[in-house]
Structure 1
Amino acid sequence: MSSVRYLFISLFSLGLVIFAVILQQVGYQEVSFLPCPLCILQRVGYLGVAISCFLAVGIAPLRKLFHGLAALSAAYGVSVAAHQVWLLSHPETSCGIDPLETWINQFQLAQGLPWLFKADGLCSAKLPAILGLQVPEWSLFWFTVLFLLLTVTFFKKQQ
């Protein structure tokens, strides 16, 4: 894969995280989208894809390694987003406050950058749909696209 494509994927992933922070800070339809623990874990997945793709551009001899790490980050994101989509469709399984929230909020990153990594919301909260889908459904869609793209291109021969 070319450096331009790695940069595009990196910037796209960062853009999705920025969009999530904007939803958190500004809101949508007068509703603030507080991030739940699973949302924070998905942000970590997007940042993993972004950083790995950015490093693939900068360190050419290790490009295949960073490509693989980006694909693993996307696969991780698919699993977290799929779990949250499942929770949205089965709200009776949620008990309210997620014990994962306390664990995530104790990390140094959550304390140093609370606007990005602090979990305040509920994983099963139904928020307004954006273009017909809930945010976790959009996240699952984009993680799946990134995972498929990175996996297919991982096995393609370099030209």
Structure 2
Amino acid sequence: MRLSTRQAFVILASASLGLVAAGYFLGEWARLQPCYLCIFQRLLYLLLAGLALCGVLLPRWRTLWCVLIGLTAIGGVLTAAEQSWMQYAPERVVECGFSDPTLLERIVDWFGVQWPAMFMVTGFCTNKDWTFLGFSLANWSVIFFLVLLCAAARLGCRRKDDKCPLFR
């Protein structure tokens, strides 16, 4: 199956929105309490979806959208890796929200006021309440952000009108 640039961007947007939905519903089902870093990652997935939708609407700017998606995915990798570290060594870190609010915490708090059901912080970043195959949600998020980064890089590096299998 060969994908056009628009189709590839639709897949990136769908994957990002699917991850947001899966995280939200898993949190509701398992009664997980999201922390600042969890919610920030959710915002980054939504930003990735928005950028990918821009790629659907303006595919001629493919390189720009792929660079912005890549940078956002790198931010997601770093955020999820920080949370993974906090879960691995909770005694070595200062918990989010216990000092003056950082820019990240202010952004998350603002979204929490706007849409509390989706963005309200109720948990701690050091908690590892749910695992699957030995990985926490933060660990899985690192993997998913890396996959999205690789997909954006692959899409951004392909030739202009190359319709190759799966982002080639």
The TM-score normalised by the length of structure 2 is 0.83
CA contact (8 A) 2:36 2:96 kept: no
Superposition CA RMSD, Å? 1.9
Deviation at 1:131, TM superposition (A): 3.1
Match of 2:140 in 1: 138
* In 2: Cα distance, 1:45 partner to 1:8 partner: 16
* In 2: Cα distance, 1:53 partner to 1:148 partner: 14
* In 2: Cα distance, 1:94 partner to 1:49 partner: 28
CA contact (8 A) 2:40 2:108 kept: no
> Which of 18, 21, 45 in structure 2 is aligned with 1:18?
21
> Which of 3, 6, 24 in structure 2 is aligned with 1:3?
6
Mapped pair 1:47 → 2:49: no
* Unaligned runs of at least 5 residues, structure 1: none
Mapped pair 1:127 → 2:129: yes
Secondary structure of 1:98's aligned partner: coil
Paired residues for 1:55-134 under 5 Å: 55-96=54-95, 98-99=97-98, 100=101, 103-104=106-107, 106-107=109-110, 109-134=111-136
Deviation at 1:98, TM superposition (A): 2.5
Closer/same/farther in 2, CA of residues 88 and 58 from structure 1, 3 Å limit: same
Q: Which moved more, 1:64-73 or 1:137-146?
A: 64-73
1:132-151 per-position Cα deviation (integer Å, ceiling 9, x unaligned): 31100000010011112212
* In 2: Cα distance, 1:62 partner to 1:97 partner: 37
* In 2: Cα distance, 1:4 partner to 1:48 partner: 18
* Unaligned runs of at least 5 residues, structure 2: 163-168
Greater relative contact order (CA < 8 Å, ≥ 6 in sequence)? 2
One-letter amino acid of the counterpart of residue 88, structure 2: S
Instruction: State how many pairs are aligned.
Output: 154
Secondary structure of 1:121's aligned partner: coil
CA contact (8 A) 1:37 1:104 kept: no
* In 1: Cα distance, 2:118 partner to 2:52 partner: 20
CA contact (8 A) 2:35 2:124 kept: yes
1:23-59 per-position Cα deviation (integer Å, ceiling 9, x unaligned): 22221xxxx1111000011111111111111110112
One-letter amino acid of the counterpart of residue 119, structure 2: F
* In 2: Cα distance, 1:9 partner to 1:77 partner: 15
Match of 1:153 in 2: 155
Closer/same/farther in 2, CA of residues 105 and 47 from structure 1, 3 Å limit: closer
Shift >2 Å, 4+ stretches:
60-64, 93-106
The TM-score normalised by the length of structure 1 is 0.87
CA contact (8 A) 1:104 1:119 kept: no
CA contact (8 A) 1:96 1:122 kept: yes
